[in-house]
Structure formats: C-alpha cells, structure tokens
C-alpha cells in the first residue's frame, strides 16, 4: 500500500468527494448533501495518497453521546486493498479521544460486503429500519442499524 495522509475535509474538497461518491454508490449524496452536512458541523475526514488524491472518506455526526457514521467510502480503483480497515481505525481512534460512548451506523441489507467489514470490526446489529433507503425502480430497501460500544 502507498503512503497516505489523513486529514479533515471541507467545502473545497466537495468536488473530489463527489467524484468518489458518484462512482461507488447507486444513490450517491449530492453536492447539497455534503454542503448541508458541513454546514451542520458534521465532520468529514479523508485519506489522500502521496499525490494528494482523495482515496477514501467518512462523515461523522455527533448526537449527544453517540457518533453516527453517515457515509463511509473507498474510491472504486482503491477498493480491496485494506483501506476500509485503515479508515475504521482512524475513525475509532478519533472518536475515542472524545466523550462518546458508541458509534452508530445504517447499512443497506444488500450491502453484504460492508456489513461483514463492520461486523469483523466489532459492530453488531441492533435493529432494522424498514424501507429506509431508496432503491432501484422506485422501490425501497431496509437498513440494518449497527452499533459499536467504545
Ligand atoms: C465497503 C467499502 C468501504 C470497503 O472498502 P475496501 O477498501 O474495499 O475494503 P478493504 O479492502 O479494507 O477490505 C475489507 C475486508 O473486505 C474483504 N474484501 C476485500 N475485497 C473484497 C471483495 N471484492 N469482496 C468481498 N470482500 C472483500 C477484505 O479481505 C477485508 O477483509 P478483512 O477485514 O478480514 O481483512 C467499499 O467497498 C466501498 O466504498 N463501497 C461503496 C460504499 C459503501 O457501500 N460504503 C458503506 C456504506 S454503509
């Protein structure tokens, strides 16, 4: 794996975020979603390679004593090389420095790969949200809610 740096992202990085977002999600966040998130003081962190290209990112929303992981992605050409694990390590060490007791996330029931990555990392299913996500052909898909206590 190449050298990389970890940094906080802001409005100036939204074009690069969108490039990855639109590659890897069937229903990607829009520019407006990223702007709303930044405006609401959610925190966006990214991994950049040695050419300063964005490789991966995540978005965190604090809710009282919990952190919600709102978005978590690795660029299409860098997947399968261990970046998800690095991203989860960065996220949990950042969150552990703060007074939070757990990390919560939602994931599509069909996203088996992400579910397995989260489970192996220590997240467990705590519930389901029926028809939470938009899906193909105007249908909806359930979300699995997962939590990891810190
Ligand atoms: C889910 C996602 C973040 C995984 O990122 P990644 O960098 O490819 O994952 P990694 O290379 O770190 O692999 C993590 C694990 O998956 C395994 N894996 C790698 N490639 C795989 C593949 N093609 N199929 C299944 N498992 C695979 C690895 O062996 C690794 O296992 P380990 O933790 O036991 O070592 C990435 O696929 C992605 O961005 N997907 C689109 C966005 C998304 O779905 N995000 C989650 C929203 S909740």
Residue 145 in contact with ligand 1 by CB distance below 6 A: no
The pLDDT value given to residue 3: 84
Locate the ligand 1 atom nearest the alpha carbon of residue 107 and give its number. Answer: 48
Which of 44, 37, 39, 38 has its CA nearest to residue 6?
A: 44
Mean pLDDT by 10 residues, the chain (150 residues): 89 98 97 98 96 96 96 97 95 94 97 98 98 93 97
Domains of the chain: 4-149 (3.40.630.30)
Residue 82 in contact with ligand 1 by CB distance below 6 A: yes
Q: Which residue's alpha carbon is at the smallest distance from atom 19 of ligand 1?
A: 80
Residue 118 in contact with ligand 1 by CB distance below 6 A: no
Residue 7 in contact with ligand 1 by CB distance below 6 A: no
Supply the pTM of this predicted model. Answer: 0.93
- Quick one: angle between helices 14-24 and 31-39, nearest 10? 130
Q: Which residue's alpha carbon is at the smallest distance from atom 27 of ligand 1?
A: 80
Q: Which residue's alpha carbon is at the smallest distance from atom 30 of ligand 1?
A: 82
Task: Please give the full DSSP string across 54-101, using - where no structure is assigned.
Answer: EEEEEEEEEETTEEEEEEEEE-GGGTTSSHHHHHHHHHHHHHHTTT--
């Amino acid at each position: 794996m190449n050298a990389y740096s970890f940094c906080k992202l802001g409005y100036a990085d939204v074009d690069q975020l969108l490039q990855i977002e639109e590659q890897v999600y069937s229903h990607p966040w829009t520019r407006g979603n990223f702007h709303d998130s930044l405006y609401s003081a959610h925190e966006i962190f990214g991994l950049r390679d040695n050419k300063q290209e964005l490789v991966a990112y995540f978005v965190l929303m604090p809710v009282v004593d919990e952190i919600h992981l709102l978005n978590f992605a690795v660029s299409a050409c860098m997947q399968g090389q261990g970046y998800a694990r690095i991203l989860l390590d960065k996220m949990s060490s950042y969150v552990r420095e703060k007074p939070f007791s757990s990390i919560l996330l939602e994931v599509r029931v069909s996203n088996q790969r992400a579910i397995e990555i989260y489970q192996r990392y220590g997240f467990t299913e705590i519930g389901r949200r029926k028809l939470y996500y938009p899906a193909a052909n105007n249908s909806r898909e359930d979300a699995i809610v997962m939590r990891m206590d810190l």
